[in-house]
Amino acid sequence: MTKVKFTYALKRFFPGLEELETSKTSIKEILDEIELLHPGMKGYIVDEQGVMRKHVNIYINETLIKDRIRLTDKVAPDNEVFIMQALSGG
């Protein structure tokens, strides 16, 4: 199963958010599953058109995903996905 991890910045808005394991095979499918478990969270990651927001990065293992528009990057059962929301400000 693929492990999905989140930065503390996302956990701040979704206190019940924990690392999860999934059998989904693409980033889009994983985000859809996360939305079912934590309604509203997908809106922090993608915009109204489903495109990944500029302040969000998603890694598969240590590699940044390539498809920020359709989120079709594939994941394997032994992969780790890390969803990171960047913080800005002074």
Domain ranges of the chain: 2-85
pLDDT tens-digit profile, the chain (90 residues): 999 999 988 888 888 899 999 999 999 999 999 999 999 999 999 999 999 999 999 999 999 999 999 999 999 999 999 999 876 655
- pLDDT for 87 equals 65
- pLDDT for 43 equals 92
Taking domain 2-85, whether its CATH number is 2.40.50.140 is answered by no
Tell me the whole-structure pTM to 2 decimals. Answer: 0.91
Strand pairing of 80-85 and 2-6? parallel
